[in-house]
Amino acid sequence: MSPTKHASAAKAPSGDPQAYDARPYLPSRGGLAAYRRAAADCRGCPLYENATGTVFGKGAEPARLVLVGEQPGDQEDKQGEPFVGPAGRLLRRAVEEAGIDMDTAYVTNAVKHFKFTRPPGGGKRRIHKAPDLREVSACRPWLLAELRLVRPEVVVVLGATAAKALLGSSFRVTKDRGALLPMPPGVTEHDDQPYVVATLHPSAILRADDRESAYAGLVADLRVAARALDEADA
């Protein structure tokens, strides 16, 4: 496997640790179960105040492939699991079409609480709102802990928020999607660093004017990850 070099993948984002920081809530020891329990009580940023609860990652442990999204959606927030809504169903179909068994992967989000707004004039509907850089940076310790514990060989970042959480704030998915990239130094503590493949978030596929073409692009990007895993087995 020969990763595509990318200058913007050299430095991870930094936030304001005084106001937004999940690190004090991380357990000092334990596996994913311990981290999942601790994350339920995270107050590292204000997003916990309105969300139903923390939505931690789920899947195989360990897993050769990790899929990272932006944040939980409305259905994920209600059910407490990642990628259970329409975008999650589309993602599962695309992953399987790319030749990867979804049940062998681990799925999570860069931000663990649902950020939303209400319609003008009131109403019960919760409208997705993208997390800002401080919120992504505050939650990043949870994501790094998951990667350390799951020990993937390839990480697929779905959309701009997930990509910037691992590859830096200057990374552009539309420019470098589908390339096999090196993980920036310091993201994991292992000698064998995972590779990263960036692609669009499945929710963007659902909103696309040409959904068929957008979906085909997602599958093509996921096949890059699948080939990397196959080559590792060779």
Q: What is the CATH number of the domain that holds 202?
A: 3.40.470.10
Residue 1 lies in a domain: no
Q: Quote the CA–CA distance of 164 and 21 in Å, as a whole number.
A: 17
Peptide bond into 24 cis (omega under 30): no
Total domain count, the chain:
1
pLDDT for 19: 64
3-state secondary structure of 200: coil
Residue 70 lies in a domain: yes
Residue 44 lies in a domain: yes
Residue 69 lies in a domain: yes
Residue 2 lies in a domain: no
Quick one: CA dihedral 20, 24, 30, 36, positive or negative?
Answer: negative
Pairing of strands 116-117, 127-128: antiparallel
Domain residues for the domain of 216 are 7-233
Residue 209 lies in a domain: yes
Residue 90 lies in a domain: yes
Pairing of strands 180-182, 195-199: antiparallel
Tell me: the pLDDT tens digits for 62-109? 999 999 999 999 999 999 999 999 999 999 999 999 999 999 999 999
Q: Among 139, 160, 136, which residue's Cα sits nearest to residue 56?
A: 139
Residue 191 lies in a domain: yes
| CB atoms near residue 72 (< 10 Å) | 30
pLDDT in tens, the chain (234 residues): 545 433 333 334 444 444 699 999 999 999 999 999 999 999 999 999 999 999 999 999 999 999 999 999 999 999 999 999 999 999 999 999 999 999 999 999 999 999 999 998 878 899 999 999 999 999 999 999 999 999 999 999 999 999 999 999 999 999 999 999 999 987 877 778 899 999 999 999 999 999 999 999 999 999 999 999 999 887
